[in-house]
Amino acid sequence: MSLGTVLLGVLADGPLHGYDLKREHDERFPAARPLAYGQVYATLTRLQRDGLVETFETRQEAGPERTVYAITDLGRDELARWLDETEQPGPYAADELVRKTITALHAGADSQRYLRRQRAVHLTAMRDLTQQRAAAAEVGTRIALDHTLAHLDADLRWLEETRERIAHDDGGPT
Protein backbone atom coordinates (compact mmCIF):
# COMPACT_ATOMS: atom_id res chain seq x y z
CA MET A 1 0.00 0.00 0.00
CA SER A 2 1.44 3.35 -0.95
CA LEU A 3 0.29 5.49 1.97
CA GLY A 4 3.13 7.89 1.21
CA THR A 5 1.83 8.82 -2.22
CA VAL A 6 -1.75 8.97 -0.96
CA LEU A 7 -0.64 11.49 1.68
CA LEU A 8 1.26 13.40 -1.02
CA GLY A 9 -2.07 13.54 -2.86
CA VAL A 10 -3.73 15.12 0.19
CA LEU A 11 -0.86 17.59 0.64
CA ALA A 12 -1.11 18.54 -3.05
CA ASP A 13 -4.21 20.56 -2.06
CA GLY A 14 -2.19 22.63 0.43
CA PRO A 15 0.08 22.38 3.49
CA LEU A 16 -1.30 20.58 6.55
CA HIS A 17 -0.01 19.39 9.89
CA GLY A 18 -0.13 15.71 10.80
CA TYR A 19 -3.47 15.86 12.64
CA ASP A 20 -5.33 17.56 9.76
CA LEU A 21 -3.60 15.29 7.26
CA LYS A 22 -4.97 12.23 9.06
CA ARG A 23 -8.45 13.77 9.28
CA GLU A 24 -8.49 14.72 5.59
CA HIS A 25 -7.28 11.25 4.61
CA ASP A 26 -9.98 9.53 6.69
CA GLU A 27 -12.63 11.77 5.11
CA ARG A 28 -11.44 11.02 1.59
CA PHE A 29 -11.38 7.28 2.14
CA PRO A 30 -14.31 6.52 4.42
CA ALA A 31 -14.19 2.80 3.62
CA ALA A 32 -10.52 2.49 4.65
CA ARG A 33 -9.34 1.87 8.18
CA PRO A 34 -8.68 5.24 9.90
CA LEU A 35 -4.98 6.05 10.02
CA ALA A 36 -3.08 5.88 13.30
CA TYR A 37 -1.17 9.06 14.20
CA GLY A 38 2.05 7.06 14.55
CA GLN A 39 1.61 5.82 10.99
CA VAL A 40 1.10 9.39 9.70
CA TYR A 41 4.18 10.81 11.45
CA ALA A 42 6.39 7.85 10.49
CA THR A 43 5.33 8.30 6.86
CA LEU A 44 5.90 12.07 6.97
CA THR A 45 9.39 11.50 8.39
CA ARG A 46 10.17 9.14 5.51
CA LEU A 47 8.70 11.53 2.91
CA GLN A 48 10.77 14.39 4.35
CA ARG A 49 13.93 12.27 4.35
CA ASP A 50 13.31 11.50 0.65
CA GLY A 51 12.76 15.18 -0.16
CA LEU A 52 9.09 14.69 -1.12
CA VAL A 53 7.71 16.96 1.63
CA GLU A 54 9.26 19.82 3.56
CA THR A 55 8.53 21.76 6.71
CA PHE A 56 6.27 24.66 5.74
CA GLU A 57 6.09 26.25 9.18
CA THR A 58 6.10 25.41 12.86
CA ARG A 59 3.13 26.62 14.86
CA GLN A 60 2.97 26.94 18.61
CA GLU A 61 -0.60 27.52 19.72
CA ALA A 62 -2.23 26.48 22.98
CA GLY A 63 -0.87 22.95 22.90
CA PRO A 64 2.42 21.44 21.79
CA GLU A 65 4.41 22.69 18.83
CA ARG A 66 2.98 21.57 15.47
CA THR A 67 4.86 21.15 12.22
CA VAL A 68 2.98 22.01 9.03
CA TYR A 69 4.17 20.01 6.02
CA ALA A 70 4.08 20.98 2.33
CA ILE A 71 4.63 18.89 -0.78
CA THR A 72 7.84 19.65 -2.72
CA ASP A 73 8.27 19.74 -6.51
CA LEU A 74 9.90 16.33 -6.23
CA GLY A 75 6.83 15.17 -4.27
CA ARG A 76 4.53 16.42 -7.04
CA ASP A 77 6.60 14.53 -9.60
CA GLU A 78 6.35 11.36 -7.50
CA LEU A 79 2.58 11.83 -7.16
CA ALA A 80 2.17 12.31 -10.92
CA ARG A 81 4.29 9.20 -11.59
CA TRP A 82 2.14 7.10 -9.23
CA LEU A 83 -1.12 8.40 -10.70
CA ASP A 84 0.06 7.46 -14.17
CA GLU A 85 1.12 3.93 -13.19
CA THR A 86 -1.35 1.06 -13.60
CA GLU A 87 -1.63 -1.51 -10.82
CA GLN A 88 -0.82 -5.19 -11.09
CA PRO A 89 -4.22 -6.90 -10.77
CA GLY A 90 -4.39 -9.13 -7.73
CA PRO A 91 -6.39 -9.89 -4.60
CA TYR A 92 -5.27 -6.71 -2.83
CA ALA A 93 -5.25 -4.34 -5.80
CA ALA A 94 -8.83 -3.12 -5.33
CA ASP A 95 -8.03 -0.75 -2.43
CA GLU A 96 -5.21 0.75 -4.42
CA LEU A 97 -7.48 1.32 -7.44
CA VAL A 98 -9.92 3.26 -5.26
CA ARG A 99 -7.16 5.28 -3.58
CA LYS A 100 -5.57 6.17 -6.89
CA THR A 101 -8.82 7.17 -8.58
CA ILE A 102 -9.98 9.37 -5.71
CA THR A 103 -6.53 10.94 -5.37
CA ALA A 104 -6.46 11.61 -9.13
CA LEU A 105 -9.85 13.34 -8.90
CA HIS A 106 -8.64 15.58 -6.08
CA ALA A 107 -5.37 16.30 -7.85
CA GLY A 108 -7.19 17.19 -11.07
CA ALA A 109 -5.25 14.47 -12.93
CA ASP A 110 -6.64 12.67 -15.98
CA SER A 111 -8.51 9.90 -14.16
CA GLN A 112 -10.26 8.75 -17.38
CA ARG A 113 -6.90 7.95 -18.94
CA TYR A 114 -5.79 6.04 -15.85
CA LEU A 115 -9.07 4.10 -15.68
CA ARG A 116 -8.84 3.23 -19.37
CA ARG A 117 -5.28 1.97 -19.05
CA GLN A 118 -6.06 0.08 -15.86
CA ARG A 119 -8.92 -1.67 -17.65
CA ALA A 120 -6.50 -2.86 -20.35
CA VAL A 121 -4.11 -4.22 -17.69
CA HIS A 122 -6.94 -6.01 -15.86
CA LEU A 123 -8.31 -7.47 -19.07
CA THR A 124 -4.86 -8.77 -20.03
CA ALA A 125 -4.62 -10.53 -16.66
CA MET A 126 -8.13 -11.90 -17.18
CA ARG A 127 -7.18 -13.17 -20.64
CA ASP A 128 -4.18 -15.07 -19.23
CA LEU A 129 -6.24 -16.61 -16.43
CA THR A 130 -9.03 -17.53 -18.87
CA GLN A 131 -6.48 -19.39 -21.02
CA GLN A 132 -5.10 -21.13 -17.93
CA ARG A 133 -8.61 -22.15 -16.94
CA ALA A 134 -9.40 -23.53 -20.39
CA ALA A 135 -6.21 -25.63 -20.19
CA ALA A 136 -6.74 -26.78 -16.57
CA ALA A 137 -7.40 -30.49 -16.21
CA GLU A 138 -8.54 -30.41 -12.56
CA VAL A 139 -11.91 -28.99 -11.58
CA GLY A 140 -10.26 -27.66 -8.38
CA THR A 141 -7.87 -25.55 -10.45
CA ARG A 142 -10.76 -24.23 -12.53
CA ILE A 143 -12.72 -23.33 -9.39
CA ALA A 144 -9.72 -21.48 -7.91
CA LEU A 145 -9.27 -19.58 -11.19
CA ASP A 146 -13.03 -18.83 -11.25
CA HIS A 147 -12.61 -17.09 -7.90
CA THR A 148 -9.76 -14.87 -9.10
CA LEU A 149 -11.62 -14.16 -12.36
CA ALA A 150 -14.76 -13.16 -10.46
CA HIS A 151 -12.73 -10.63 -8.44
CA LEU A 152 -11.08 -9.23 -11.55
CA ASP A 153 -14.51 -8.98 -13.17
CA ALA A 154 -15.80 -7.04 -10.13
CA ASP A 155 -12.82 -4.65 -10.40
CA LEU A 156 -13.48 -4.20 -14.12
CA ARG A 157 -17.14 -3.43 -13.53
CA TRP A 158 -16.17 -0.90 -10.90
CA LEU A 159 -13.63 0.69 -13.27
CA GLU A 160 -16.30 0.98 -15.96
CA GLU A 161 -18.96 2.34 -13.59
CA THR A 162 -16.45 4.84 -12.23
CA ARG A 163 -15.69 6.10 -15.73
CA GLU A 164 -19.40 6.58 -16.37
CA ARG A 165 -19.93 8.24 -13.01
CA ILE A 166 -17.05 10.67 -13.51
CA ALA A 167 -18.12 11.37 -17.11
CA HIS A 168 -21.66 12.21 -15.99
CA ASP A 169 -20.76 13.94 -12.75
CA ASP A 170 -22.19 17.43 -12.53
CA GLY A 171 -20.34 18.23 -9.36
CA GLY A 172 -22.80 16.44 -7.09
CA PRO A 173 -24.90 18.01 -4.33
CA THR A 174 -23.60 21.30 -3.03
Partner 1 sequence: MTTDPVEPILSARGLHKSFGRTPALNGASLVLQPGESVAITGPSGSGKSTLLHCLAGVVRADSGIVTFRGTRLDELTTDDRTRLRRVSFGLVLQFGQLVPELSAVENVALPLLLEGRPRAEAAASALQWLERLEVGQVAGSRSLAMSGGEAQRVAIARALVTSPDIVFADEPTGALDTVTGELALDVLVKAIKETGAALVLVTHDNRVAAVADREVVLRDGVVEDETDHPGAAG
Minimum CB distance to partner 1 smaller for 124 or for 141? 124
Helix (H/G/I), strand (E/B), else coil: 17: strand
* CA dist., res. 5 & res. 15, Å (int): 15
Indicate the residue among 61 and 164 with the shorter CB distance to partner 1: 164
What is the nearest approach in angstroms of partner 1 to the Cβ of residue 102?
21
Q: Least distance in Å: CB of 110 to partner 1?
A: 10
Tell me the closest approach of the beta carbon of residue 88 to partner 1, in angstroms: 11
Rounded (to 5) percent helix, strand, coil in the chain:
65, 10, 25
Full DSSP string of 19-80: HHHHHHHHHH-TTSPPPPHHHHHHHHHHHHHTTSEEEEEEEE-SSSEEEEEEE-HHHHHHHH
Question: Which lies closer to partner 1 via its Cβ, residue 26 or residue 146?
Answer: 146
Residues that bind partner 1 (CB under 8 A): 86, 113, 116-117, 119-121, 123-124, 126-127, 129-130, 134, 149, 152-153, 156-157, 160, 164
Nearer Cβ to partner 1, position 74 or 80? 80
